Amino acid sequence: MYNFYTGEILLIDKPYTWSSFQAVNKIKHAIKQHPSLVHDGVKTKPKVGHAGTLDPLATGLLIVCSGKKTKTINELMGLEKEYTGTFFIGATTPCFDLEKPVDHTFAIDHITVSDLTKAANSFIGLQQQVPPLYSAVWLNGKRAYEYARAGEEAEIKAREIEIKEFELTDISMPTVSFRIVCGKGTYIRSIARDLGLMLNSGAHLTALRRTRIGEFDVKNAIGPNEFAEKMNNN
C-alpha cells in the first residue's frame, strides 16, 4: 500500500518522446486522489519531484519521489547511472542526437574496430566534459537550450565527470551499440560528439536508455500510464 504523504520512491520507465516533466505530471495527477493523502483528517498535497532528467528521445529509469522522500532527491541524483544505446558514426547533428537533422557528414572508411575500442577505453576515468548547447544547463539566468533555439552563441564551461565503464556491445558500422556506467552530470550526447572527434570523423546519438541508477533497476519500473491505471484500480 502506498503512502504518498510519508513518502514513496517510485521507479518509472519513461516512454520515448515524453519529457521528464510530462512523466512527473502524469504521476502527480495519478496520486492526487489517493487515500494516503488524508493526514489527520486533512487532505494534503505532498511534493512530487524526480531525481535526474531524461531527454525526450531517451527512455528508461526515472526516479520519482513523493512527500518526505523528496528530501532524498539530491542523494539519488548523485548515484552512478548505467545507459545503453547506439551511436551513428559519420554524421553530426546540432544537438548531438536525433532531435535535429544531420548537419554534416564525414568519412568513416579509415575507422577500424581497434580504433573504436581504443577510443572508448580512453574515456574511462575522470575527465572534463562540455555539455551540449541543447541542454538544460543554466547560463546567465537562462537555460542553454534557450540560446540554441534562438540561434545565439553561448559558451558552456567544461565540468568534471567520471566514466566508470564504456563497453562497445556491437559494432555494425556506421552503427555502434554501447553500455556506459558513469557518474553524476554526464551527457551521453557529448560522449557521442567527443567520440566522433576522436575518430577524426563525426558521431551522434541515435538511441539511449537509462537502465540503472545506483541499485535501482529499470527492470523494476513501470510506465506512467501503467502507474496511473494501477492508482485507478486501488
Helices within 88-210 (DSSP H only): 113-122, 144-149, 188-198
Is residue 13 annotated as part of the catalytic site, yes or no? no
pLDDT tens, 9-48? Answer: 999 999 999 999 999 999 999 888 777 777 666 677 788 9
Indicate the average pLDDT of the chain: 92
Who has greater pLDDT, 33 or 97?
97
Fold that domain 9-78+217-232 belongs to in CATH: Pseudouridine synthase (3.30.2350)
Domain boundaries, the chain: 9-78+217-232, 81-213
Instruction: Please state, as a whole number, how many other Cβ atoms lie within 10 Å of the Cβ of residue 128.
Output: 9
% of the chain surpassing 70 pLDDT:
98
Report residue 92 as a C-alpha cell.
Answer: 553530426
CB of 83 closer than 8 Å to CB of 180: yes
Q: What element of type H or E holds 73?
A: helix 73-77
- Report whether pLDDT(153) > 90: no
Catalytic residue among 13, 55, 97, 194: 55
209's CB contacts (< 8 A; 6+ apart) are 58, 59, 60, 83, 84, 85, 218
When pLDDT is cut at 50, 70 and 90, the band that residue 234 belongs to is: low
Cα–Cα distance between 49 and 59 in angstroms, integer? Answer: 18
Q: What is the pLDDT of residue 207?
A: 98
Q: Do domains 9-78+217-232 and 81-213 have the same CATH topology?
A: yes
For the domain covering 81-213, report its CATH number: 3.30.2350.10
